[in-house]
Amino acid sequence: MTYVDWKIRTKQVGTCSCDYGCPCEFNALPTHGDCEGVMALEITEGHFGATRLDGLRVAGVYRWPGPVHEGGGTWWSIVDKAATPAQIEALFTILGGKEQEPTTGFAIYASTIAHEPEPLFADIAFEWDIEGRSGRFVVADVMGAEVGPIRNPITGKPHYIAIKPHNGFEFREAEMASADFWSTGAVNQRHTGRFAAITHATYGPYGIIAAESHPAAPI
């Protein structure tokens, strides 16, 4: 199949309600049976055909009633209100997996979604510091996350650790962190001290472009 020429380089912060490390990354079941969380990304450089996507931000609020692969998920998209109609169309095409191989990340997640509330167009505050293992993103009155290093429960010192899924479809390497996050509306949730991943990855029609995706931060 021939796809539209597109590519996005991203900075990302993702969270979920599971323990640090996230069982999904190890082909295991969610810590508490279900899976919910929030995420945000910033496109540092990108295009969809002739439409430039540089600098745009996207966030998501999500919940699956069980393991993600069993489906039935809810995904609520929040899109940078600065996006033009052409950019909005491009973003939904990319993130909905409509111009990507079915065995790659966006297409895989899209296949598990049963409920998609009307998207929200808003300002998305976004901070990202992979070396500090920290980040923050907020959509006023809707959702937010505060992310920092995992702390040693005895000494309180930062515990730096990364995971490297060699064939991962979300990322090929990410810093693990600790997140406090919440959302209201389509999914009501509030969690503290849960899983977070901080990474930068580049995607195209055939999934992750490994040569342009960067390794995790130095210790």
Q: Encode pLDDT of 98-120 as tens digits.
A: 999 999 999 999 999 999 999 99
Q: What is the pLDDT along the chain (219 residues), one digit of tens a residue?
A: 899 999 999 999 999 999 999 999 999 999 999 999 999 999 999 999 999 999 999 999 999 999 999 999 999 999 999 999 999 999 999 999 999 999 999 999 999 999 999 999 999 999 999 999 999 999 999 999 999 999 999 999 999 999 999 999 999 999 999 999 999 999 999 999 999 999 999 999 999 998 888 777 776
CA dihedral 46, 93, 91, 5 (to 10 degrees): 10
The pLDDT of residue 184 = 97
Q: How many domains does the chain have?
A: 1
- 219 domain-assigned: no
Q: Residue 89: name the closest of 50, 139, 124, 117 by CA.
A: 50
Q: Residue 83: name the closest of 60, 56, 58 by CA.
A: 56
The pLDDT of residue 172 = 94
Relative to beta strand 143-148, strand 134-139 is antiparallel
Relative to beta strand 189-204, strand 57-64 is unpaired
- 64 domain-assigned: yes
Dist. CA 166–CA 172, nearest whole Å: 6
What is the span of the domain harbouring residue 32?
A: 6-210
Q: Give pTM, 2 decimals.
A: 0.94
Dist. CA 135–CA 55, nearest whole Å: 17
- 149 domain-assigned: yes
- 216 domain-assigned: no
What DSSP state is assigned to residue 215? Answer: P
What DSSP state is assigned to residue 34? Answer: B
Relative to beta strand 57-64, strand 143-148 is unpaired
The pLDDT of residue 214 = 74
- 204 domain-assigned: yes
